[in-house]
C-alpha cells in the first residue's frame, strides 16, 4: 500500500513538472527569489531612550493577487480517493516514542518541573544523550559544560530543553533514507530550533499566557514540513524548500492534496496528540490565508507569534535573512506575512514586539544559533 502511494505521488510530481502552465511547477530558484524582506536603517535613537509609542494600526491593505487566487484545502474537502492515497502514505511514517505523548500532555506542559522533565527524558537514554550533546554544542554557546538534563534546564530554561527533547523525539519518526534529502531535513530541523528559541524569548518578553506550550506549538508546526519532505521526491526538496510559504503551499496541494500545515494536523491527530494542541498548531499555519478578524482575539497573539517565529526561523536557517538586526514585521512586504501584519496590530503585540525583536539578548542568541556569532 505504501509503495503504491509513493509511486502515485511520484507520478503526480512528474505530471506537474510536465505541465508548462501549472502554477506549482518547480523551476530552479532564481537569484533574488526568496521572500521580500524590507529592513529599516539602523535607528539613531540612543539605546537608553524610552521606546516610541506604538503606531496606530495601518489601514487594511488590499489582498495580494497570489492570495486572492489561492484556494486552501482542508482534509474534509479533499477528494476521497486522493485522501486515501495521502493517508496510506502518512501511515508509513513511524510513530515517535510513547514518551512524547506524556511530554505533550496538558498536565505536563502546565506543571512539569525540571525533575519531572529529567525523569521523562532519562527514560529514553538515546534521546537524553542527543539532548545533552546538543545543549553542549556550539548552537547554544554555553561556557560551562552540563552533564544532566537538570543542569541543562538551569542554564537554558525548561521550555528550551523541552523543545530540544521534542525535536529529538520527532526525529525518531523522520529519518531521510537518501543522502540527497538529508540537507533539506537538516535545514528544517535548524529552522525549528531557531524558531522555538525565539518563541521562548519573545513569549517571555511580551508576557503572553501559557508560555510553556508556545515553543512546543512552534516545534510541532514543523511536523507538516517534515512529513511533506518525507513524501515528495528528494530531487525536488531543495527547490520546494527555497520557495516562499504560499508557493510551497501551492506545490504541496498539487502533489499531496493538502498543504504541509494540513498534513501536519492529520499526522498529529493520528498520533493521538491533544486536540487543543493540534488545533493551535494548525490554526497558526492557517494564518497564511486567514484574516485575523476571523480568529478569536484571545487566541490571536499566540497564533501570530508562533507563525512569525516559524517564518523567521525558516528564513534564518535558509540564509534568506542574515539576522534580525533592523527587522520590523510591519515593513516585511512578503505575501506570506500579509495577514500576519494585520494580526500583529493586536494590543498584546503591537506595543512591544519591535523592541523585543531588537533586544540585544535575542539578537545575540540568533547570531549564535545561526553560526554567525563573533564570539
SS3 for 38-72, per residue? CCCCCCCCCCCCCCCCCCCCCCCCCCCHHHHCCCC
Cβ neighbour number for residue 13 with a 10 Å cutoff: 20
Query: pLDDT tens across 306-346, in order?
Result: 999 999 999 999 999 999 999 999 999 999 999 999 999 99
Least confident of 118-127, 321-330, 357-366: 118-127
Pick from 235, 204, 375, 240: which is nearest to 314 by CA? Answer: 240
Binned at pLDDT 50, 70 and 90, residue 45 comes out as: very low
The answer, yes or no, to whether residue 64 has pLDDT greater than 70, is yes
pLDDT score for 310: 97
Counting residues of the chain whose pLDDT is more than 90, the rounded percentage is 64
Contact 16, 25 (CB under 8 A): yes
pTM beyond cutoff 0.85: no
Question: Domain 64-94+178-375, what architecture?
Answer: Orthogonal Bundle (1.10)
Query: pLDDT tens across 211-221, in order?
Result: 878 999 999 99
CA 104, CA 273: separation in Å to the nearest integer?
Answer: 7
pLDDT score for 29: 35
104 phi, psi to nearest 5 deg: -100, 5
pLDDT score for 190: 95
Give the DSSP letter string of 176-232. Answer: -SSHHHHHHHHHHHHHHHHHHHHHHHHHHHTT-S-HHHHHHHHHHTTHHHHHHHHHS
CA 218, CA 293: separation in Å to the nearest integer?
Answer: 22
The mean of the pLDDT values for the chain is 84
CA 76, CA 216: separation in Å to the nearest integer?
Answer: 26
Looking at residues 126-138, what average pLDDT do you find? 89
In 3-state terms, what secondary structure has residue 131?
helix
Cell numbers at residue 205, please?
518578553
Binned at pLDDT 50, 70 and 90, residue 373 comes out as: low
Give the DSSP letter string of 283-333. Answer: HHHGGGT--GGGS-TTTHHHHHHHHHHHHHHHHHHHTS---STT--GGG--
Binned at pLDDT 50, 70 and 90, residue 24 comes out as: very low
The answer, yes or no, to whether residue 123 has pLDDT greater than 70, is yes
Looking at residues 216-229, what average pLDDT do you find? 96
Burial of residue 117, with CB atoms counted within 10 A of its CB: 0-12 exposed, 13-18 middle, 19 or more buried: buried
Every domain of the chain with CATH number 1.10.3210 lies at 64-94+178-375
The answer, yes or no, to whether residue 10 has pLDDT greater than 80, is no
pLDDT score for 1: 45
CA 247, CA 243: separation in Å to the nearest integer?
Answer: 6
pLDDT score for 59: 52
Distance linking the first and last C-alpha atoms of the chain = 52
pLDDT score for 263: 97
CA 151, CA 132: separation in Å to the nearest integer?
Answer: 10
Query: pLDDT tens across 255-314, in order?
Result: 999 999 999 999 999 999 999 999 999 999 999 999 999 999 999 999 999 999 999 999
Cell numbers at residue 17, please?
513538472
To the nearest 10 degrees (0 to 180), the angle between helices 158-171 and 179-205 is 160
| Residue-level length of the chain | 375
pLDDT score for 312: 97
pLDDT score for 318: 94
Binned at pLDDT 50, 70 and 90, residue 205 comes out as: very high
Query: pLDDT tens across 156-202, in order?
Result: 889 999 999 999 999 888 988 777 789 999 999 999 999 999 999 99
Amino acid at each position: 500500500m505504501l509503495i503504491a502511494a509513493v509511486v502515485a505521488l511520484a507520478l503526480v510530481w512528474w505530471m506537474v513538472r510536465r505541465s508548462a502552465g501549472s502554477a506549482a511547477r518547480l523551476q530552479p530558484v532564481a537569484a533574488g527569489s526568496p521572500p521580500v524582506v524590507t529592513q529599516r536603517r539602523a535607528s539613531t535613537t540612543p539605546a537608553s531612550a524610552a521606546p516610541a509609542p506604538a503606531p496606530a494600526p495601518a489601514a487594511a491593505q488590499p489582498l495580494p493577487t497570489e492570495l486572492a487566487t489561492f484556494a486552501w484545502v482542508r482534509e474534509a474537502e479533499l477528494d476521497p480517493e486522493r485522501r486515501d492515497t495521502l493517508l496510506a502514505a502518512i501511515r508509513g511514517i513511524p510513530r515517535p516514542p510513547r514518551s512524547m505523548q506524556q511530554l505533550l500532555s496538558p498536565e505536563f506542559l502546565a506543571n512539569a518541573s525540571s525533575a519531572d522533565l529529567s525523569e521523562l527524558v532519562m527514560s529514553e537514554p538515546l534521546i537524553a544523550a542527543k539532548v545533552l550533546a546538543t545543549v553542549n554544542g556550539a548552537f547554544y554557546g554555553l561556557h560551562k559544560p552540563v552533564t544532566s538534563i537538570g543542569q541543562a534546564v538551569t542554564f537554558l530554561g525548561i521550555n528550551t530543553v523541552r523543545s530540544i527533547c521534542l525535536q529529538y523525539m520527532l526525529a525518531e519518526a523522520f529519518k531521510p533514507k537518501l543522502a540527497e534529502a538529508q540537507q533539506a531535513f537538516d535545514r528544517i530541523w535548524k529552522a525549528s530550533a531557531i524558531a522555538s528559541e525565539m518563541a521562548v524569548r519573545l513569549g517571555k518578553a511580551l508576557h503572553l499566557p501559557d508560555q510553556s506550550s508556545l515553543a512546543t506549538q512552534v516545534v510541532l508546526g514543523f511536523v507538516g514540513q517534515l512529513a511533506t519532505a518525507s513524501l515528495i521526491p528528494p530531487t525536488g526538496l531543495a527547490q520546494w524548500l527555497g520557495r516562499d510559504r504560499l508557493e510551497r503551499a501551492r506545490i504541496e496541494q498539487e502533489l499531496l492534496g493538502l498543504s504541509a500545515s494540513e498534513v501536519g494536523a492529520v499526522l498529529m491527530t493520528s498520533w493521538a496528540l491533544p486536540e487543543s494542541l493540534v488545533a493551535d498548531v494548525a490554526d497558526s499555519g492557517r494564518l497564511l490565508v486567514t484574516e485575523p478578524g476571523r480568529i478569536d482575539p484571545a487566541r490571536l497573539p499566540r497564533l501570530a507569534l508562533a507563525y512569525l517565529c516559524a517564518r523567521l526561523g525558516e528564513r534564518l536557517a535558509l540564509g534568506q535573512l542574515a539576522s534580525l538586526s533592523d527587522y520590523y514585521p510591519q515593513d516585511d512586504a512578503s505575501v506570506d506575512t500579509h495577514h500576519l501584519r494585520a494580526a500583529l496590530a493586536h494590543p498584546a503585540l503591537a506595543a512591544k514586539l519591535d523592541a523585543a525583536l531588537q533586544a540585544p539578548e535575542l539578537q545575540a542568541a540568533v547570531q549564535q544559533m545561526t553560526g554567525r556569532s563573533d564570539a
